[in-house]
């Protein structure tokens, strides 16, 4: 496994691989890797000749400075994990390397409602920053395929729109959510959950399952109310429980829709902000 911290070094290496006809699969991450990330690497390894994992905590997508400061940085442990998956290349650049001309220049792309709803409503600027870094990383890595998780459902939809708007010849692959045994979606933030809160954390999954099964035959507004109150009663501070069209992310009034329906949750558990989702139909 090779590790690069400069754009020039990485590009030179990938150019050789590309010239040899190798297919390049790319997994962008912010590090603090867990089995969720590793499942993306596994898929990239299965489908491509060379897997590239970037590890970069991108300042432009953090609306909250203390969240950025508290974000775990564990490059050594991450490298060990990536080795166990026989990952080929790590790209772990500095902020200067990614943004040599400064961080202020955004992208001239329009995401409309896709970026303003859900996470966009409570984290202003988050998706502009995310799209900015993914676009920059795609310019650097120039992969054939890009692997991203359903865990960040809205992020995936925005990257899909970005790739279409920029007409990039890239296969975007959505990878399933990997969960702990009790249902909690794996996340780098989970390591910040104190032990007493960790016991309640699977409630997010239970709420999503409850919405999907809808055993009581509730309406969509009733399901949302039930979800919010279940979380509140368990000690969460929910930010939203939404049931939306799987493509447009617009609220739906029924659990059936030709485009598909997805339920999404964002919530505080103590000081940790958690998100999760489930495809309902």
Instruction: Give contact residues for ligand AMP (rule: CB under 6 A).
Output: 29-30, 36-37, 39-40, 148-149, 151-152, 175, 177-178, 185-188
The tokens describing 135, both together, are 């676009």
Cβ-count burial of 200 within 10 angstroms (0-12 exposed, 13-18 middle, 19+ buried)?
Answer: middle
Which contiguous run of DSSP H or E holds residue 84?
helix 75-84
Rounded least distance, CB 33 to ligand AMP, Å: 8
Q: Which of 13, 34, 37, 254 is catalytic?
A: 37
Number of neighbours of residue 133 by Cβ within 10 angstroms: 21
The tokens describing 44, both together, are 């990239």
Sign of the C-alpha dihedral, residues 190, 135, 149, 28?
A: negative
Backbone Cα Rg of the chain? 19
CA-to-CA separations, 236 to 132, 199, 203, 248, 266, in angstroms, rounded: 32, 12, 9, 28, 10
Active site annotation includes 37: yes
Closest residue by Cα to residue 91 from 105, 107, 79, 74: 79
> How many Å apart are CA 21 and CA 224, to the nearest integer?
50
Nearer to ligand AMP, 129 or 210 (CB): 129
Rounded least distance, CB 18 to ligand AMP, Å: 23
Rounded least distance, CB 149 to ligand AMP, Å: 3
Nearer to ligand AMP, 81 or 255 (CB): 81
Half-sphere exposure of 168 (CA within 13 A, CB side): 21
Rounded least distance, CB 271 to ligand AMP, Å: 18
Assign residue 190 a region: left if phi > 0, alpha if psi is -120 to 50, beta otherwise? alpha
Rounded least distance, CB 175 to ligand AMP, Å: 5
> How many Å apart are CA 50 and CA 117, to the nearest integer?
36
Sign of the C-alpha dihedral, residues 215, 279, 115, 41?
A: positive
Rounded least distance, CB 80 to ligand AMP, Å: 17
The tokens describing 18, both together, are 């590309």
Q: Which residues are catalytic?
A: 37
């Amino acid at each position: 496994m090779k590790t690069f911290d400069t754009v020039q070094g990485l590009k030179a290496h990938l150019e050789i691989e590309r010239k040899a006809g190798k297919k390049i699969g790319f997994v962008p991450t912010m590090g603090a890797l867990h089995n969720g990330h590793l499942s993306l690497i596994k898929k990239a390894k299965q489908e491509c000749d060379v897997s590239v994992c970037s590890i970069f905590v991108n300042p432009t997508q953090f609306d909250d400075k203390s969240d950025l400061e508290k974000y775990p940085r564990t490059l050594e442990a991450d490298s060990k994990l990536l080795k166990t998956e026989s990952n080929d290349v790590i790209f772990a650049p500095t902020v200067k390397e990614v943004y040599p001309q400064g961080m202020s220049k955004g992208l001239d792309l329009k995401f409309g409602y896709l970026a303003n709803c859900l996470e966009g409503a409570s984290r202003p600027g988050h998706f502009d920053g995310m799209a900015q870094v993914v676009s920059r990383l795609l310019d650097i890595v120039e992969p054939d395929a890009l692997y991203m998780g359903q865990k960040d459902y809205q992020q995936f939809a925005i990257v899909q729109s970005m790739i279409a708007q920029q007409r990039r010849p890239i296969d975007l692959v959505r990878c399933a959510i990997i969960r702990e045994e009790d249902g909690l979606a794996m996340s780098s933030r989970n390591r910040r959950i104190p032990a007493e809160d960790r016991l309640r954390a699977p409630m997010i999954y239970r709420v999503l399952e409850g919405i999907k099964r809808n055993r009581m035959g509730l309406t969509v507004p009733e399901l949302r109310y039930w979800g919010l109150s279940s979380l509140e009663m368990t000690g969460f501070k929910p930010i939203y429980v939404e049931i939306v069209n799987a493509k447009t992310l617009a609220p739906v009034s029924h659990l059936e829709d030709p485009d598909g329906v997805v339920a999404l949750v964002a919530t505080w558990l103590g000081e940790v902000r958690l998100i999760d989702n489930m495809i309902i139909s």
